[in-house]
Amino acid sequence: MHSSAQLPTPTSRWEELTKIQPNPAQLDNIKAQLDLVLLALEALAGIGSEAMLQAAAQLNLESKIPDRVALWRLRQSNPLRKGEGGRKKLDVEEARSLVLISCYLAKQHQEVIRRAVALLEQVTYNNEPPHKAALLGDYIDAFSNTYQERMEEDENVSTDVLTQLALKLLIDLLFYSSAGGHRRLWLALLDRSK
């Protein structure tokens, strides 16, 4: 029989993971992915910067994200975003803070995420377009409109590509809203940034 002292706790595994130092190119990809995860949450659950700041406060992350300006600068650090001038660099602790906030909010809105994924399974099974389900149609439209409004490559991205991106992020959110979601998101960010 193993004693509990021999098994790593979820927190220690998270601490261990965050000791991995992504290189600058990986951090650029992580910035883009984190912003897209938050954009998907915004589009599906209607959350805004106020909910993100409240989550930061509840998670004791105010030192990293103290106000709306700091949050905006972190999100604006996404290299896909429109904007001129130098972009803020994202450090590992800031990336970690955004991961914790994203998963906290996903967990808070787990019910709507589950409902949307169930609808996606249903329309896929029936070979119907996702827009047939009102919740999915509203989500895809909100995601696509916000993406085109904020990102540089809006003229080059087709509606189909944005729909596929929105649906992929929706499925990802289901995993990030579960227990240990922050660990899954961090591992996915590291994996996708290679």
CA pseudo-torsion sign 58, 63, 69, 73: negative
pLDDT of residue 154: 54
At 148, list the tokens. 């085109």
Instruction: Specify the pTM.
Output: 0.86
71 and 166 in contact (C-beta within 8 Å)? no
Q: Output the CA angle 90-38-34, nearest 5 degrees.
A: 35
Chunk the chain into consecutive blocks of 10 residues (it has 194) and report each block's average pLDDT, rounded to whole numbers. Answer: 47 66 80 93 94 94 91 85 68 89 96 98 96 96 94 78 96 95 90 76
98 and 76 in contact (C-beta within 8 Å)? no
Sheet strands (E) in the chain: none
pLDDT of residue 50: 94
pLDDT of residue 101: 95
pLDDT of residue 86: 52
